[in-house]
């Protein structure tokens, strides 16, 4: 996502001819978009995107469970301890 943001900023600076970016070649200005495509391809192929989505879902689920337990007066579930 950062690559996309940087690419948009560079694109605006180049098209409006503002600052040092105005003198850059278009290849350099568009390179962050290439990096964004490569990052998204790697993230999808490696399972990174799905893993992060599952982690967020698990955190939301656990927060909901903790909130409901607290609402009915039960303690939060403790992590399993080895004995």
pLDDT of 7 > 90? The answer is yes
**CA angle 57-4-30, nearest 5°?**
155
- Give the pLDDT confidence score for residue 50 in this predicted structure: 87
- Give the pLDDT confidence score for residue 29 in this predicted structure: 94
- Give the pLDDT confidence score for residue 48 in this predicted structure: 87
Element (DSSP H or E) covering residue 65? helix 48-71
**Contact at 8 Å (CB) between 61 and 32?**
no
pLDDT of 21 > 80? The answer is yes
**Contact at 8 Å (CB) between 40 and 7?**
no
Tens digit of each residue's pLDDT (9 = 90 or more) over 47-83: 888 888 999 999 999 999 999 988 888 876 666 666 5
pLDDT of 22 > 60? The answer is yes
Tokens of 3: 């690559």
């Amino acid at each position: 996502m950062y690559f996309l943001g940087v690419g948009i900023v560079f694109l605006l600076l180049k098209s409006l001819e503002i600052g040092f970016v105005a003198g850059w070649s278009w290849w350099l200005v568009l390179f962050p978009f290439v990096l964004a495509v490569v990052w998204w391809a790697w993230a999808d192929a490696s399972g990174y995107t799905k893993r992060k989505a599952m982690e967020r879902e698990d955190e939301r689920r656990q927060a909901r469970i903790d909130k409901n337990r607290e609402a009915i007066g039960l303690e939060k579930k403790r992590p399993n301890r080895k004995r």
